[in-house]
Amino acid sequence: MLLRRLGLAVLVLLFLPVPVIVLYRFVPPPLTPLMLIRAAEGEPMHREWVPYARIAPALPRAVIASEDTRFCWHHGFDWIEIDKAVDAYRAGDRLRGASTISQQLARNLFLWPGGGYPRKAAEAYITVLLESLLSKERILELYLNVVEWGNGVYGAEAAARAHFDRPARALTLRQAALLAAVLPAPQEWRPEHPTRFLEERADTIVARMPEVAVPGRGGCR
């Protein structure tokens, strides 16, 4: 009986994401686990879905330059960055992250914050599904609309209004770079009041932006 229940649970975990991801090809996600967790902790929730075409072109380019420069060319996992991270760890450095935008979206849509092997395995499985069932443009559109950009701030539209008092379509190149720069620690860094470190991160992102391909805008699909 126990094995049967475990088997049923595994089947549910394997197949439940498929229809949900197919649905997300057409409709915005209502909520994410992180949003629910933050709300339970007492944080407000500011979010507003905005189509990809109504986001300033500088923002997706800046996010790709910051988070996943080979986004258009990999199939969910950037093995070049993974190899670099492993080599650096073997050389004595701390283990750094090498997550792609697709992996980050998998975490945001379906999983809980934190680490551990079960979560990493689930993340890898969902990443494969996302890359198989969605276009690159849709993956990036979903990511830009659900990612955390401050305390209770989710998505590009809410972030642009909260930090720069303007809609996402009106972001400047510098503002886009600063928003991308805070993604690793959105609850600690404020793009509207950047530290010197954050300014330097934004400078690096701006320098990379011309080199990256962007979905739907002369790049991948």
Dist CA 162 CA 187 (whole Å)? 13
For residue 163, give both structure tokens.
């930090």
Residue type, position 153, single letter: V
Pick from 99, 94, 153: which is nearest to 123 by CA? 99
Residue 92 confidence (pLDDT): 64
Q: Which CATH architecture has domain 45-211?
A: Orthogonal Bundle (1.10)
**Domain limits, the chain:** 45-211
Would you call 46 helix, strand, or coil by DSSP?
Answer: strand
Answer yes or no: pTM beyond 0.85: yes
Question: Running along the chain, 221 residues long, what does each successive block of 10 average in pLDDT?
Answer: 46 72 97 94 94 97 97 92 75 70 96 82 95 97 98 97 98 98 95 97 98 81 65
Residue 39 confidence (pLDDT): 93
Residue 79 confidence (pLDDT): 86
